[in-house]
Homo-oligomer: A and B are copies of this chain.
């Protein structure tokens, strides 16, 4: 059983950081040796997964009427400064370009930390009438933030990949409905296709996106018990349309500022979540739909047997699967089967097909499922249907596992004493408590609970009311407390 020994990674739950470093490197996902803090390289295998992820979100966005566009990476300083809250939020973390060649620029240019202030000046030119609305568009780009906190590959970088939508509506009601559609889009892909469960949360007032009226976020759970924000959606009211003079005339002919929203899909963090949530001690475990390699065929030769016949049998299977659009390879290199198992296990290939003399003679195939690590021998003719069926099962299994872990992490707590007791335990939790919403209380909590933060209000329980677990004030709302990345 060489396979088992060689494949062992550190325990993900106990030592997430080491596990993660190993998988990024051995799985050739990203390289952290670029030499500039917070900037990483997406290696081919990592980029192939990323492109598959992007495709899923873009398809869902297009299905819901969003169209792609692309704005420059640079934002003139005067634009960035226009919305007061916005620049306050981003000023400390913007990269500035001040020179072109040897020439100082007339105006400093920021690398986009987010694109509202790039986009709205053009919206003021494009959108003139309620007939031009709704305007729904997105771009898939890299954004830049000069993080002063410790950076971690894919989880917190100075350059990261995301999709951002920027939608405009005549009324606030329609714009608010968009934030709900955003949540559905996010659910459709993140939960249903990638198997990543998350909490849908309204952030507290002091935690909003700079310039937003309301901020919603999607938090998922890491194996070490911390939560990770993997997406946000914001109702911006007329804050940006006012500042950038976006004026439309409505159906009655009145001039008004339209309402807007934005939605950020944190692609880098979503890739990290897939690795961290689904992976195991053998490497990545990837949902079939986003796996760069979906099936690998490995011949098991036997001395004295007609191994060419095995090869031909393998190639016949490979060609049949490839014809059906399945990403398949036949690996007949001279590595040992064990080495091959290690390699493809690490890369999360959902199905491994092993063909030896017995399979050849019986017209069968032995299929190894990466997620549950179980072998099954089936008739060759059933293979295609088997893969189609079981690939759904894989997703289901991964999603269920992840969902259970998330559910198990959440504890409802009603008193401060009880909370303090839990916090002292070894295990990190997500606490569901009553909280008053005051920033002072949030700060005290963070200080006294060793980093537990208020994460905001579960959207499905917004109207429940009770006593704040911290200050005891009445009319507090339900809120989550968690440690976060």
Contact = CB atoms under 8 A, between A and B. Distances in A.
A137 B44 contact: yes
B101 A93 contact: yes
Which bracket fits the contact residues of A?
35 or more
Given A44-B137, A69-B44, A73-B73, A94 B101 contact: yes
Contact of A98 (B67, B99, B144): B99
Interface in A86-110: 91-103, 109
Interface in A72-124: 72-74, 76, 79, 91-103, 109, 111, 118, 121-122
A423 interface: no
Interface string A34-67: 1110011111101110110000000000000001
A300 to B, nearest CB: 23
A74 B36 contact: yes
A278 to B, nearest CB: 22
Contacts of A68: 44, 47-48, 51
- How many copies of this chain? 2
A125 interface: yes
Contacts of A111: 73, 97
A459 interface: no
A95 B103 CA distance: 9
A72 B44 CA distance: 14
A95 B34 CA distance: 19
A159 B125 contact: no
Contacts of A79: 35
Interface of A: 31, 33-36, 39-44, 46-48, 50-51, 67-74, 76, 79, 91-103, 109, 111, 118, 121-122, 125-126, 137, 139, 142, 144, 146, 148, 158-159, 161
25 contacts: A31-B122, A31-B125, A33-B122, A34-B118, A34-B122, A36-B109, A39-B72, A40-B72, A41-B69, A41-B71, A42-B69, A42-B70, A47-B69, A48-B68, A73-B159, A91-B101, A93-B101, A94-B100, A94-B101, A95-B99, A96-B97, A96-B98, A97-B97, A97-B111, A98-B99
